[in-house]
């Protein structure tokens, strides 16, 4: 179970004044860290931001509001466009087209079904996470 799945999706960063900035995001799912999906924003080889989000929370957020505190997600309908809105730390809000995210998540659940997540060597996994910062 060493699969790493990757995809790119466009998201829109919503500014406090209501403007929207389209950004290309990189989704990564590593079966060794089966509970998380990493969303990264890069440009010209530089990582500008990277967030690890709960895989089940992403799935559930497309159906109903989830989360509290620093991470919240909820479904929105933008015209006929089905989106997931994600709010981080009460300051950063972005949206993603739900069908794109849903396709990626389906692949992750095919690789590691819900309820079958395992962290094989927890000590090694924690050491790797801590070393990565």
Structure confidence by residue, pLDDT tens digits, 80-117: 999 999 998 888 899 999 999 999 999 999 988 777 67
Structure confidence by residue, pLDDT tens digits, 5-56: 999 999 999 988 888 888 889 999 998 889 999 999 877 777 778 899 999 9
User: What is the DSSP code string of 51-117?
Assistant: EEEEHHHHHHHTTS-EEETTEEEEEEEETTEEEEEEEETTTEEEEEEHHHHHHHHHHHHHHS-TT--
With contact defined as beta carbons under 8 Å apart, do 37 and 59 qualify?
no
Domain 4-132 sits in CATH 3.40.630.30? no
The domain limits of the chain are 4-132
- For residue 122, the 8-state DSSP code is H
pTM for this predicted structure = 0.82
């Amino acid at each position: 179970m060493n699969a790493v799945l990757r995809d790119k999706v466009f998201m829109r960063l919503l500014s406090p004044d209501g403007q929207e900035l389209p950004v290309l995001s990189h989704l990564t799912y590593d079966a060794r860290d089966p509970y998380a999906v990493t969303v990264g924003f890069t440009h010209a080889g530089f990582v500008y931001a990277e967030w690890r989000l709960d895989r089940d929370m992403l799935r559930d957020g497309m159906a109903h509001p989830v989360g509290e505190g620093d991470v919240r997600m909820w479904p929105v309908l933008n015209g006929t466009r089905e989106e997931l809105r994600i709010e981080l730390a009460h300051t950063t809000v972005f949206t993603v087209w739900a069908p794109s995210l849903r396709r990626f998540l389906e692949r992750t659940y095919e690789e590691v079904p819900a309820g079958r997540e395992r962290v094989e060597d927890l000590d090694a996994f924690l050491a790797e996470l801590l070393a990565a910062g």
